[in-house]
Structure 1
Amino acid sequence: MPDPIPLVRTLNDRFRATFVGGLVVVTEGVKALDENAKRRLLAKVRSFDAFSPENDPYGEHDFGSVEVDGAWFFFKIDYFDPLLEGHSANAADPSVTTRVLTIMRADEY
């Protein structure tokens, strides 16, 4: 059986870069930012590529942190079934997976 991690990573990278192929959720702390700060934050999340064994131990490119205007933000991709009622049975299969990207201030964690 082939290793699903490369496909999961590719799907996550594509989703994060385009915000197409899932849902993007932001917390109240992100909503409270002014529009320019929100644009800069979303651009940093989209272009993030500083994955390492420390922040990406499974190689899925599903978590990262970025700084905007002196504040730190986290993003995390989770895998749900199409109805968002539970976890996906197979994160490598887009037909049974809805990706949810959550963006939050680090101090909201």
Structure 2
Amino acid sequence: MSPSIATRHRISDLNDAFRRAGPGASGQWVMTRGVADLGPDFTLLAMRAVREFDGFTGDNDPYGEHDFGSFNVGGQHLFWKIDYYDPTMTYGSEDPAVSALTCRVLTIMLASEY
């Protein structure tokens, strides 16, 4: 069964707050080796772009959860994606709309690594 519209809005609000707060908030941010290899200046620019991302459309956000983005930094095409785990990071979250049941993990990757 797909989540209700209210649940999707709650997930979207939680994802936006997590993403805008940046690393060290209520979850983890990680990046692939390809992103890290481009150096600390590049990674800071990529992280800033993720925090400021607002290009959600029906094409890249069909469920309205704001859990994925595609952007360009320094001539590189990147993706970011939020995944939902249980608080122990052992299993998937029972309910991503409930903060106490969810640890969010945002991954930044080169599009070529997808």
**Fold shared, TM-score > 0.5 on shorter chain:** yes
Equivalent of 1:14, from 14, 17, 31? 17
1:4 corresponds to which residue? 7
Sort the Cα spacing of 1:2 and 1:34 in 2 relative to 1 into closer, same or farther, 3 A.
closer
1:59 aligns with 2:67: no
1:102 aligns with 2:104: no
1:73 aligns with 2:78: yes
Counterpart amino acid of 2:28?
L
2:52 corresponds to which residue? 47
Deviation, structure 1 residue 46? 0.4
Sequence identity, in percent? 44
Equivalent of 2:28, from 13, 23, 36? 23
TM-score, scaled to structure 1: 0.95
Deviation, structure 1 residue 10? 0.5
Q: Which runs of 5+ in 2 are unaligned?
A: none
Please tell me the root mean square deviation across aligned C-alpha atoms, in Å: 1.3
Distance across 2 between alignment mates of 1:52 and 1:2: 16
Deviation digits for residues 72-109 of structure 1, max 9, x if unmatched?
Answer: 11000011101111111100001010001011011111
Distance across 2 between alignment mates of 1:76 and 1:60: 11
Deviation digits for residues 29-78 of structure 1, max 9, x if unmatched?
Answer: 11111222111111100000000000000000000011011111100001
Matched pairs, number: 109
SS in 1 for 2:66: coil
Distance across 2 between alignment mates of 1:66 and 1:92: 26
